[in-house]
Amino acid sequence: MVLKEMVVVKFIKMLFVMFLLVFFTSVPVIASETEDYFDEIIYIENQIGAVSIEMHGCLGWFSDDSETVKTASEQAIKDLNEIEDHLLSMNTPKKFKEITDLDIQIISLLKKGYSGIESKDDETIGRESSEFIKVLGKYREAFKEALEKYRFWVKLPEDFDPLNEELMTAGSQEEKLAYKKAIDLMDKRNFKEAYPILLGLKKKAENSSFKDCVLLKISDCLLMTDSNLDNIESMKPDKEGLSILSDIIKKSSYSL
């Protein structure tokens, strides 16, 4: 895997983890109309993020294939239009109007950036990116302020272990032991031995949450390994890994 591809993979993984964290840590302690609306805002962030991740993946892997980039950008714009329609149909409380307006600006700038991107030069892309980054900065500030005012958070205990939470979703002791063995191998960067264990778990897993954990680890193996893996058909490991991430995002937080 060349340096450029490795950077893109790390960027995509970082975004994916960020959106998972937002999704899983946004459960309100006290239900209210304000918090319900804030949940909708977070939901929209997940959707916009999913579109961006898919588009960045395409730009990273197929930057020299203008037709593929063109097709992906057209689909991204179509998806962004649907998200925007959903956003505009919401009855926005006054206190969230700034966030909603900035969300619409972000969607507009993304559509502008993706439109015809296959034929844009670096200078144009750089100029449009700078404009987008400025609005994104304003959005982050507004979102942070609203987060502090209107969300109630449960502080995780100091001994919180994500692996234990993942193991709790397993359907049997056998699944727990196999999953833990795969994670231990991955910690040692032995992705080739971890991969078939995870494939076996994928076939057996009945709990959808546990299956998503397994799929995410499979994608890690595919994206991080430096050697060929068995049981990969038709696609290179890196592209297969990105495909798995895309499927998880669509299933978890992407459909309207």
Instruction: Express each pLDDT in 123-168 by its tens digit.
Output: 888 888 888 888 888 988 888 888 777 766 666 677 778 888 888 8
Task: Report pLDDT for 13.
Answer: 44
Task: Report pLDDT for 22.
Answer: 42
Residue-range domain boundaries for the chain: 3-150, 162-253
Ranges in the chain, pLDDT < 50: 1-32, 233-235, 253-256
- The Cα 12–Cα 246 span in angstroms is 10
CA neighbor of 142 nearest in space, from 105, 175, 109, 171: 105
Contact 83, 51 (CB under 8 A): yes
Q: Per-residue b/e over 106-140, b at no fewer than 16 CB within 10 Å? A: bbebbbebbeebbeeeeeeeeebeeebeeeeeebe
Task: Report pLDDT for 122.
Answer: 79
Give 64-75 pLDDT, tens digit per residue.
788 888 998 999
- The Cα 70–Cα 251 span in angstroms is 24
Task: Report pLDDT for 242.
Answer: 62
**H, E, C per residue of the chain:** CCHHHHHHHHHHHHHHHHHHHHHHCCCCCCCCHHHHHHHHHHHHHHHHHHHHHHHHHHHHHCCCCHHHHHHHHHHHHHHHHHHHHHHHHCCCCHHHHHHHHHHHHHHHHHHHHHCCHHHCCHHHHHHHHHHHHHHHHHHHHHHHHHHHHHCCCCCCCCCCCHHHHHHHCCCCHHHHHHHHHHHHHHHCCCHHHHHHHHHHHHHHCCCHHHHHHHHHHHHHHHHHCCCCCCCCCCCCHHHHHHHHHHHHHHHHHCCC
Task: Report pLDDT for 221.
Answer: 84
Task: Report pLDDT for 225.
Answer: 65
CB count, 10 Å around CB of 94?
6
